[in-house]
Structure 1
Amino acid sequence: MNNYYYLVAGLPEINLDDAKLSVGYVEYVDELMQALAKEDAALLRYFRMTYENRNLLTWLKDKEAELHPLGMLSAEDFNEQWQLLDYEDKAPLEGVPAYFLTFMRDLRDSKIPAGQEEQYLTAMFYEYTQQAPNAFVRRWFEFQWHLNNVQIALNCRKYGMDIETQVVGDNEVTHALRSSSARDFNLNGIFPAIETLMRMNDESDLLRKEKQIDRIQWEFLDELCTGYYFSIEVLLAYLIKLQSVERWLKLDAKQGEEIFRHLILSMKEGAQLK
């Protein structure tokens, strides 16, 4: 295990309610890329894959669209990989995750239902993270996977939508969400955060609700870091928290309402396409 005494000791204290940051997310990523051992720097890729996923979906809709700068693949990379899909013996290009190749081929072969592209890719991404060579990375993304799906299922119940088609992936939690009629989907022993999420589901202040969800994530991060002091796990947890605070600094009440309405509208539109 590599230890990063200087890096960890130099991290500014960070809290979810901070009104300003002394270091930005992009700046911190750049610092880590320069300071981490090769095998630890490679773990950062998992935390940038959400931007890669977004960029791939954007590129598929508009080949000239501007891509998110935190993604590491360019439009040229996507285009080159797409051109190689007919060559079945070709492995993914350097830097392209294997699930991108599978997704592209399934999309080309019309194996993905219309309107389900993002859910399909997201499921592949979460499955990909569960192969990570680091337990912290695996457990964090597994928690995210469950957290997002539980929120989706609770919203489906609240707004009368079909849970079956909205939750992402196939695991113990999604099976319970799709099949259980119990108030807590029989998840209390599998995903304890379900109780807190159910209590929050009727919260009318959407930004307050979102902040509470972030607190759940921060508490889980603190649990994950128990026993770690100067390792990559501490630096990755700080990365996640930094991204969270930076997002809140850019978010106001009106934007929060718009994000929530967009989420519900997207879910309804997806259901109508079935």
Structure 2
Amino acid sequence: MNYYYLIASLPDISPEMDPSKLDFEEIFDLIYRNLSEEDKALFRYLIYPNDIDNLLSILSEKHLDWTMGGFKKPAIFQVEEMKGYKLNKGNFPDFMHDYLTDNEDRFAGMSLREMEEGLLDRFYNEVFGLENKFLISYYAFLRGLRALIAAFHYNTYDFLSQPKIQDADRLLLQVGPDRSPAALVTKDYPYLEELIKVLSENQPKKTERFIDKVQWDFLESQSEGAFSPSQVFAYTVKLQILQRWLKIDSKKDSKYFEKLQHQIINQSRPSKIPTI
């Protein structure tokens, strides 16, 4: 489907812009209302990661006595619907419904990282079965990026258990402080050397900025032509990146981010820290 009129009506965005000038809720709503029914169903998979984070936050508050963080938006499911997940899971996508059903009696004995890894595995499996080129390419890229970061963290912090990542045998041996990745690895991940350098500086906000830049550059290469659904989907992910940084740069969220950094560096949390 051609989305000429929709794309022409969207504001221009860039990583350097001031995101406070954007009305995110209005733009997300504009995009969703103008999609075909088929593309709306696919669009939801760009929003489900926020629902995943919201569900994990609710589960960790209930079973791990953690304070629930802010509710992430845009989200497909409202906070009250998500809090009542036992009654409402029939409304959730299959990956989330099946995860809750299969693990209902196990959450109390799971760490947040175990919860996250299990839920993300089901999400990725469902995405890769959709046969949508953009979603498969984007989430395969994102999973690879997260695997590199998890491998680096595992080789940096003694208190982390071995992560469940793709290509673990190769990445866990080669990605970490004072390790030199083989040429084949750097070919597969051309941004790897710079990523390792940024991670080694131990500055979480700088790291997040770099990760988002890598994602943005990837998204720039993914459009299948002007005014295509993939262009709308890439724009949606970029919009979420800008929205996230507006929140991180706020005083409240900046203080939370600094507190989290302190806890990670000083290993003050008894539970496992989830990988980025």
Q: TM-score scaled to structure 2, two decimals?
A: 0.77
Shift of 1:154: 0.9
| Structure 1 equivalent of residue 171 of structure 2 | 177
Q: Is the 8 A contact 1:157 1:163 kept in 2?
A: no
Following superposition of structure 1 onto structure 2, how do residues 237-256 of structure 1 map, counting pairs within 5 Å? 237-252=234-249, 254-256=255-257
Residues 242, 71 of structure 1: CA spacing in aligned structure 2 closer, same or farther, 3 A cutoff?
A: closer
SS in 1 for 2:185: coil
Counterpart selection for 2:272 from 250, 270, 273: 270
Shift of 1:52: 2.0
The sequence identity of aligned pairs, in percent, is 25
Q: Larger deviation: 16-25 or 176-185?
A: 176-185
Q: For 1:191-219, what per-residue CA distance to the aligned partner results, in whole angstroms no more than 9, with x for missing partners?
A: 33322211222225432332122111111
Q: Larger deviation: 235-244 or 190-199?
A: 190-199
Answer yes or no: is 1:55 the counterpart of 2:62: no
Q: Is the 8 A contact 1:106 1:112 kept in 2?
A: no
| Structure 1 equivalent of residue 146 of structure 2 | 148
CA distance in 2, matches of 1:262, 1:43: 37
CA distance in 2, matches of 1:135, 1:52: 22
Shift of 1:36: 0.7
Q: Larger deviation: 259-268 or 139-148?
A: 259-268
Shift of 1:112: 9.2
CA distance in 1, matches of 2:245, 2:72: 19
Shift of 1:262: 5.3
Structure 2, unpaired ranges of 5+: none
One-letter code aligned to 2:207: K
Q: Is the 8 A contact 2:99 2:119 kept in 1?
A: yes
SS in 1 for 2:181: coil
Counterpart selection for 1:128 from 122, 126, 129: 126
Shift of 1:188: 2.1
CA distance in 1, matches of 2:264, 2:14: 27
Following superposition of structure 1 onto structure 2, how do residues 1-274 of structure 1 map, counting pairs within 5 Å? 2-60=1-59, 61-62=61-62, 68=72, 70-73=74-77, 74-75=81-82, 78-80=85-87, 93=90, 95-110=91-106, 114-115=110-111, 116-162=114-160, 164=162, 167-169=163-165, 171=166, 173-178=167-172, 183-184=180-181, 187-225=185-223, 227-252=224-249, 254-261=255-262, 265=267, 269-270=271-272
Q: Is the 8 A contact 1:119 1:168 kept in 2?
A: yes
Q: For 1:54-93, what per-residue CA distance to the aligned partner results, in whole angstroms no more than 9, with x for missing partners?
A: 3333444449x896563333148622256xxxxxxxxxx3
CA distance in 2, matches of 1:206, 1:152: 14
CA distance in 1, matches of 2:225, 2:122: 29
SS in 2 for 1:184: coil
One-letter code aligned to 2:168: T
SS in 2 for 1:133: coil
Shift of 1:229: 0.8
Residues 261, 237 of structure 1: CA spacing in aligned structure 2 closer, same or farther, 3 A cutoff?
A: farther
SS in 2 for 1:42: helix
Structure 1, unpaired ranges of 5+: 83-92
Shift of 1:3: 0.6
Runs of 4+ in 1 over 6 A off after TM superposition: none
Q: Is the 8 A contact 1:3 1:231 kept in 2?
A: yes
Q: TM-score scaled to structure 1, two decimals?
A: 0.78
SS in 2 for 1:43: helix
Q: Larger deviation: 179-188 or 8-17?
A: 179-188
Residues 266, 230 of structure 1: CA spacing in aligned structure 2 closer, same or farther, 3 A cutoff?
A: farther
Shift of 1:143: 1.2
CA distance in 2, matches of 1:46, 1:37: 15
CA distance in 1, matches of 2:92, 2:22: 29
Shift of 1:104: 1.9
CA distance in 1, matches of 2:128, 2:261: 28
